[in-house]
Amino acid sequence: MSSRPATGHPAPRVALISVGIGRVQRGFERYFSDLFDVLQGPVALTLFKSGGDSGAHERVPAGLRLVTALVRRLPGRWWGRTTYHRDCLAYAICLIPALWAGRFELIHCIDPPLAAVLGRLRGLGLMRTPLLFTEGSLMPASYYPSASHIHHVGQAAMAAAIAAGVPASHMTLVPCGVHGERFPPLEPQARERLRQRHGVAPQCLVVLVVSARMRKHKRVDHVIEEVARLLPSTPPDELLLWIDGHPEEAEIDALAHSRLGARCRVSHVGTDEVAELYQLADLLVHGALEESFGLVIVEAMCSGLPVLVHDSPHFRWLVGDDGQTVDMAQPGALADCLRVWRRLAPADRPRPDLARVRARFDWRALAQDYAALYRHTIDGASRTQPICATPPSPGHTP
């Protein structure tokens, strides 16, 4: 693939760094994997990861397994208060030779503890390459690493950073992208056949919850309890809660089956199969009160699936006119909304505007914005001071 963009200017040389790729599959890893696939060409990207095959544009830092094992065994909290923090420190140590040899114009990372270590190396003069940090974890501005530029994926987080005193000129908002073509809506007859294949009755309202990691902030338990409120007044074949993901707490699975019984299904399908769940469902419900972005929400909207999210500045920005909001913190509010939804004929249920959603979030629309972000950060690095001159120690990074 060509390393020159259409403009004829040399493609910027960027090190794209993800501690988790090749080892885990969270939102961070999906996002950076997509970035690598989409931008290679307009940008000369090298992906640094933790596992998998290496090649001309993909590398696993030398000695990573040994150094990681050693850092995990070091006594004291300074080296990191969690395994994740220690793994990021080990990764940074192994990265140094590769970054020096690569002559990169920019380093782009998203893991907060890794960014903190790289920022400290820059502060000590051990690394001069500009650092772009994607804030994807609702980190308070006081914890921002010593980066050349901060990239936000959500409007509310950027507004909060500005309110905390970070200059707007030091930050850029570009949302996460999705491959819209991977989430096609189905024609009614094809959708009916799909539901039949999964044993879902035509009159059944399928409420879908999707979360790669069902942590507490996802509030899957809240959705379960709210759906349970509808059971006494709903025939057995007219309501189904479908939960897809990998529960990190065993009680989520137990709660779902104890409260909902046969009116709940729990699955863990691959990333390439989740589109089928969007196609057969009637509504995606996201119970979290806050998110840094909400990739599954955007995927669902790209599929034409209605979404119901918490009524907050971030989620209102994310769904715009293409989704519904409700106060997820108020007990009974979601249940009331679902009761109204059940009474609506399918043709009367509000649906997202596919063209509008994809114009905002499809990678084909966003690729040039990311390339421009890279060039802007490289060009501005010599003219601006780091965002935070004294970041917290690796052991205290959120």
Which domains does the chain carry?
13-177+363-396 (3.40.50.2000), 180-359 (3.40.50.2000)
Q: Which residues pair with 207 in a beta bridge?
A: 241, 283
pLDDT in the model for residue 212: 65
- Give 332's Cβ-side CA count (13 Å radius): 0
pLDDT in the model for residue 395: 43
- Tell me the pLDDT of the chain (398 aa) as tens digits: 334 444 557 889 999 999 989 887 777 888 999 999 999 989 999 999 999 888 889 999 999 999 999 999 988 877 778 999 999 999 999 998 888 876 899 999 999 999 999 999 888 888 889 999 999 999 999 999 999 999 999 999 999 999 999 999 999 999 999 999 999 999 999 999 999 999 999 999 999 999 866 567 889 999 999 999 999 999 999 999 999 987 556 788 889 999 999 999 998 888 778 999 999 999 999 999 999 999 999 999 999 999 999 999 999 999 999 999 999 999 999 999 999 999 999 889 999 999 999 999 999 999 999 999 999 999 987 555 555 534 444 444 44
Contact by Cβ (8 Å): 21, 29: yes
| DSSP per-residue codes, 184-238 | PPPPHHHHHHHHHHTT--TT-EEEEEEEEE--GGG-HHHHHHHHHTTGGGS-GGG
* The two structure tokens encoding residue 182: 């991977």
What is the torsional sign of CA 313, 318, 319, 325? negative
The position carrying tokens 């939102």 is 27
pLDDT in the model for residue 391: 42
pLDDT in the model for residue 380: 85
Q: What is the CA radius of gyration of the chain?
A: 22
What is the separation, in whole angstroms, between the first and last Cα of the chain?
A: 38
pLDDT in the model for residue 4: 41
277 CA to centre of own chain: 19
Q: Can you give the pTM of this predicted structure?
A: 0.89
Long-range contact list for 85-89, CB < 8 A, 24+ apart? Answer: 85/113, 85/394, 85/395, 85/397, 87/19, 88/19, 88/113, 88/114, 88/116, 88/117, 88/394, 89/113, 89/117, 89/394
Give the C-alpha separation, 370 to 40, whole Å. 11
Give the C-alpha separation, 47 to 64, whole Å. 15
* The two structure tokens encoding residue 280: 């057969």
Residue 160, C-beta contacts closer than 8 angstroms, at least 6 positions apart: 141
Among 334, 55, 336, smallest CA distance to 219 is for 334
* The two structure tokens encoding residue 87: 């793994």
Long-range contact list for 180-189, CB < 8 A, 24+ apart? Answer: 180/302, 180/357, 180/358, 180/361, 180/362, 180/363, 180/364, 182/272, 182/275, 183/275, 183/278, 183/299, 183/300, 183/302, 183/303, 184/275, 184/279, 184/303, 185/279, 185/303, 185/304, 185/305, 185/354, 186/279
- Give 318's Cβ-side CA count (13 Å radius): 32
